[in-house]
Structure 1
Amino acid sequence: MAVFRFSWMKILLATFLLVTLIQSETEARAHNGLKVRRLVRREVDSQENANDSKDWDSELALGDEGTDDFLNDDDDGEDEDGDEDSDEDDTLDTKDTPAAAITSHPINFTLKAGSTVWLPCEISNAGYAVVMWKKGEAVLYQSTMKLTQDSRIHKFNNHTMMIQGVQTEDAGDYTCSVLGYSASETQQVTHSVQLYTEPKIVKMLPEGNNRLVLKGSTLIVQCIASGIPKPTIKWSRAGQRIREDGVEFDDNSIIIKHAKKADSGMYQCLASNSVGKPAHGAVDVKILYAPEVHIKKTVINTDEGYEAVLMCLVKSEPRAIITWQKGEEVITHNDNKYQIQFNNSDHSTLRIFHVTSDDFGKYTCKASNEYGNHHGHIDLVKVPERALWLEGRQDPSEDNPLLTWIVESIQPLTDIELKYLKVDERNDVVLNDRDWIIVRPDINQPTGNRYTISHALEGLTPGKYTAVVRSKNTQGWSQPSEHKFEGEYMSNEIRADERMEEAPQAEVRSSAVGHLPSSSSASILISSFFMYCLVRVL
């Protein structure tokens, strides 16, 4: 019986000791948990989302009136059982415990859509550290508590966070933080996630009225493109690559200083980054300038009773207003006498019906816009028009150049004067006006009122030449028309000398060939010599 009592007492004593140990451990964990919850509450209270803050407050509520006093002053309060707290009971002993520290470094991830990314957050001395993951300001994880509904996001025990099937909306900054007792003690590491994206044209500049650029000013064309990696930009205009001649390239822009009218047109940019297809953009730029009048034929031949057509070409931006004048008098459209036509906004034609003696004289084509004005003159005459030179060519049978030109005259041609001379090759000027060589080319039969005249020049030496021609009809001489040409010519005297030099050489060769002994003659001489020697011996 005594043995039974002793055993029973040992069982009770062991049970008491075990219960006491479990209670002490439970109290310690509760105390540490209280500290952790206080830190979590401090972090959560700083969130901008009011709804999340309410949820966290309800979960972290301590349920008694002494909670706030306890959180504010750990040293002087009582514990939940009403006992006095010692310094060892209400504070965490951190003197001998190293602080948690993040050892991972920031990483910039560039990924393909649909891939998986692991965001590391390695922590030394993690212990009871509170670890938080955020994207921007949105909390994704608070320790082991997941606060995002995205099923693609997972956090592992080593605090690494994984995102599966990365999409465009996942791009951004992800921050892993280890919360401390104060903001200065909080540590964090931030990773950047971005996706490879094909190029896209965001904007083309200039826009609107800025596409109109005054001649002589600076033109800047920009192609703003997005994409990862950053796209490279190539420029073209009217289907032709833009080179660096007169153009500055600056990242996504081209700069043209002192813009010319030729710089007008459609500028196209091609953005490429090896991801997907290249992107195209275009902007139409117009260079504004004053009118420029061009007259192709400044002299028009006609006669009384005929019809005359005067034409002028006008280049301008914006479109110019074109008027015709004879002397100081402005010509207006009149179906019986004058007809003024405009073609493609830059050609103007003045048609004069039934020319009379009063219609001969000087006409002016005038053009003006808001940036200036310009004009050109046309003479309506009875004498031949100024000769129009055609491309020079060599006479196919000789080394002489063949000059060809066209003359228009309703009245028959009676004379043609062609003069030419060699000019100074350095300054391209006539050395002596008395050195002109004058010839009278033949006059061919015209085709309608058009004469085509050709003349071959002889005796020229290599060098540059100037030719001037004028024509005469029954009303007088035309204005002179000048033509410059050059070549490696050979005069008749040089060709004759070369023939003389070649002839004696041929005779010498034939003479030399005639005096060489033939093989049969040599054989006869040798045979005669042996016969002579034989007779002497006998």
Structure 2
Amino acid sequence: MGMAFCLRPLTIMIITSQGLSKSYHENPWGYEYRDYYYDQESNVDPPTFLARPQTFTVEVGQSVIIPCDVDNAGGSLKMIIKKVPANGGSEKLVSVGSDKVMPDPRMTVDGKRLTISHIRPRDAGTFICQFDLEPPVQLRHTLHVQYAPSVRAMVPLQQHVAKGKSVTLECKAHGNPEPIIRWSRQEGPLSSGKHSHHGHRLTLERVDRHMEGTYLCTADNGIGEPASAAMSLTVEYPPEIITQQPIVRTGEGDRVELVCVVHSRPPADVVWTHKGRPLPDTLMDTQLHLPQQQQQQQQPSSRTHTTYDAHLSQTHVAHRHTLTIHRVTERDFGKYVCIAENAHGQKKAVIQMTGLPKRPQLLSNPVGMENTRYTLTWETESYLPITEFFIKYRKSHLGAWHRNRTMLMAGTWQNVSRVVMNSGSAAPEGRRHFMVYTLEGLQAATFYVAIVSVRNKYGWSAESDRFSFSTRRVTTVLPSTSGARRQATASAFTLLLLPLFLLVPL
């Protein structure tokens, strides 16, 4: 049979020579002040406390002395020290006279003083030095205990939020003094652009993937080290695609990489199409990795498929999806589409692979330095050498009525076509080609517009943007006065006409 124990209460009765009778009730949790009565003797002066009420503020781990110095404490009247906890609760008896009642080894009573060492937060409260007279003689001291903060999250530590929604992060801190709470983000500034936010809550509006990360709620009150709680935010969103090059220029025999950078949450499934047909998702030449017996059993269609797999390969590293084309052929040219899809949606991006030259870009100075000649300079990009170029040019269309109610119309297009010599040589480094041609037989002080296109083995490029230029104005010096007047008149007319050229749209 088991044994049962019963803790019996113990009552201590103290009777002083002045007739004071008090009782203290002992229980497993300490002593509680029960009741008292007092029969005061005549012709006895009551004791007087020498200290004044004080407030003590100490940090955790330090020590404090609670003074209860008294005057006129003769006789057998004993001083009582009691404590009222700061967080509420019943009054606790600490000591009676020099006898300590509260069983706490950190507390010692020496004469009329109470010493508490290795202070803890639960030691905070009001300490009462008291003589039980009628009326009671009391001295009250307040003890504040300062301690480092602690903090805890009030929301789940991992938050999953759909793009465009709002989320609120919250934490709660404890400490004395009251901690200040500051929010920060490990990956960088907050969505507001600031590096911190103060308060118990942090609300993020219309979240996107750039707001993902670990958010820290840090509490600090100047005592000890700050405390932090970490909360992770994950934003779910449909795919977002960036192409490394929207147009890739190449040639037969080359090795080309088409790259799509895909961001999505959850991760998206990515497929490629060429001319509207899906491409096989393979990372290797499967035929080379099959046992010989299986290779012999494969159907011709299967072998053809394997050969095509060897020609193309797909790789995926982090957000980068790459379609590699080995030994490009002319049939590989065309439109490639990178398609990414997850539970929140689908996104497409187009990459055009071509062997045609890039649209030429004119580099000449629009103001010519010769009267009847003008040199056009342009650049283009082509994997293969340029074999031919084509220039068309004409006088500019003024587009305005003159005072004699006639309109100066644009001239007809003049065409220049030239075959580029030594076109069989390899393309320059970087595949950039610089070309020059001089137009002859132009009119002085005249505005023109020109368009250039170039050709390589695969065909013609797109036409360049319209390029406006002018030839040099003719200046004639005449010796006579009348000639000078005629020249001045002609010059004035030219100055009046010149703004019309400048303002006329092409």
Q: TM-score range by the shorter chain?
A: 0.5 to 0.7
- Give structure 1 stretches of 5+ with no counterpart: 1-28, 61-70, 72-89, 395-402, 422-433, 456-466, 484-490, 494-538
- 5 Å matches for 1:357-396? 358-385=331-358
SS at match of 1:262: helix
Contact 2:356–2:382 (CA under 8 A) maintained in structure 1: no
1:408 paired to 2:389 = no
Q: Deviations over 1:25-50 (max 9, x none)?
A: xxxx97953xx32xx32xx34x6547
Alignment match, 2:120: 168
* Residue 447, structure 1, aligned to residue 428, structure 2: yes
Opposite residue 100 of structure 2, the aligned amino acid is K
Residues 18-417 of structure 1: matches in 2 within 5 Å?
Answer: 33=19, 36-37=20-21, 40-41=22-23, 44-45=24-25, 49=28, 92=39, 107=55, 109-111=57-59, 113-118=61-66, 131-134=80-83, 136=85, 138-150=92-104, 153-155=107-109, 161-168=113-120, 171-176=123-128, 189=140, 191-197=142-148, 202-203=151-152, 207-210=156-159, 212-221=160-169, 228-230=176-178, 232=180, 236-238=184-186, 240=188, 245=193, 249-251=197-199, 253-267=201-215, 273-276=221-224, 282-303=230-251, 307-333=255-281, 335=285, 336-338=307-309, 339-353=312-326, 355=328, 358-385=331-358, 407-410=381-384, 412=386, 414-415=388-389
- Would you say the 8 A contact 2:191–2:211 is kept in 1? no
Q: Secondary structure at the match of 2:143?
A: strand
Q: 1:191 to 1:376 in 2, by over 3 A?
A: same
Amino acid aligned to 2:165: S
The answer to which structure has the higher strand fraction is: 2
Corresponding residue for 2:294? Answer: none
1:295: Cα distance to partner?
1.6
Separation in 1, partners of 2:465, 2:57: 74
Q: Measured at CA, do residues 235 and 96 of structure 1 come closer, stay the same or move farther in structure 2, by a change above 3 Å?
A: same
Are the counterparts in 2 of residues 100 and 178 from structure 1 also a CA contact under 8 Å? no
Partner-residue secondary structure (3-state), 2:57: strand
Q: Deviations over 1:472-507 (max 9, x none)?
A: 434444457889xxxxxxx999xxxxxxxxxxxxxx
Indicate the structure whose relative CO is greater, using CA pairs within 8 Å and at least 6 residues apart: 2
Could you say if the C-alpha distance between residues 100 and 371 of structure 1 is closer, same or farther in structure 2, counting changes exceeding 3 Å? farther
The C-alpha deviation readout for 1:263-287, integer Å capped at 9, x for no partner, is 2234456665555555666554332
Contact 1:290 1:373 (8 Å CA) reproduced: yes
* CA contact 1:221–1:254 (8 Å) conserved in 2: yes
Cα separation, 2, equivalents of 1:384 and 1:372: 36
Q: CA, structure 1 residues 314+301, in 2 after alignment: closer, same or farther (shift >3 Å)?
A: same
What is the rounded CA distance, in whole Å, between the counterparts of 2:209 and 2:335 in structure 1? 30
In structure 2, the CA distance between the partners of 1:325 and 1:215, relative to structure 1 (3 Å rule), is same
> Does the 8 Å CA contact 2:355/2:382 hold for their aligned counterparts?
no
What is the TM-score with the length of structure 2 in the denominator?
0.55
Number of matched pairs? 374
Task: Pick from 456, 462, 465 the counterpart of residue 473 of structure 1.
Answer: 456
Q: Which amino acid aligns with 1:168?
A: R
Partner secondary structure for residue 148 of structure 1: coil
CA shift for structure 1 position 294: 1.1
Deviation, 1:372, is 1.7
Report SS of the residue matched to 2:158.
helix
Residues 321 and 249 of structure 1: is their aligned pair in 2 closer, same or farther, counting only changes over 3 Å? Answer: same
Unaligned runs of 5+ in 2: 1-14, 286-306, 366-376, 397-409, 437-449, 474-506
Contact 2:158/2:233, CA 8 A, preserved across alignment:
no
CA contact (8 A) 2:250 2:353 kept: yes
User: C-alpha separation between the residues in 1 aligned to 2:461 and 2:127?
Assistant: 91
Quote the offset at 1:314 in angstroms: 0.7
The 1:214/1:123 distance shift into structure 2, 3 A limit, reads farther
| Cα distance change of structure 1 residues 410 and 30 upon mapping to structure 2, 3 Å threshold | closer
Deviation for aligned residue 1:115: 3.6
**Cα distance change on mapping 1:476 and 1:341 into 2, 3 Å:** same
TM-aligned CA deviation for residue 384 of structure 1 = 2.3
Post-superposition Cα deviations, 1:144-189, rounded to whole Å, max 9, x if no partner, equal 53213546534466x6x4324343366422442759799x999895
Larger Rg: 1
| Structural RMSD (CA) | 5.6
How far did 1:312 drift? 1.2
Assess if the C-alpha contact under 8 Å between 1:324 and 1:363 holds in 2: yes
Counterpart for residue 447 of structure 2: none
Query: Does the CA contact (< 8 Å) of 1:247 and 1:255 recur in 2?
Result: no
Report deviation, 1:364: 1.1
Find the aligned partners of 1:337 and 1:345 in 2 and give their Cα distance. 26
Distance 1:340 1:373 in 2: 23
Q: Return the offset for 1:234.
A: 5.5
Q: Percent identity?
A: 19
- Residues of 1 paired with 2:56 and 2:30: CA distance? 32
Counterpart-to-counterpart distance in 2, 1:262 and 1:325 = 29
**Which amino acid in structure 1 is aligned with residue 237 of structure 2?**
Y
Specify the code of the residue in structure 2 equivalent to 1:365.
C
Supply the distance in 1 between the matched residues of 2:379 and 2:220 (Cα, whole angstroms): 54
Distance in 1 separating the partners of 2:154 and 2:472: 67
Q: State the TM-score, normalizing by the size of structure 1.
A: 0.52
Structure (1/2) with the larger helix percentage: 1
> Residue 257 of structure 1 aligns to which amino acid in structure 2?
E
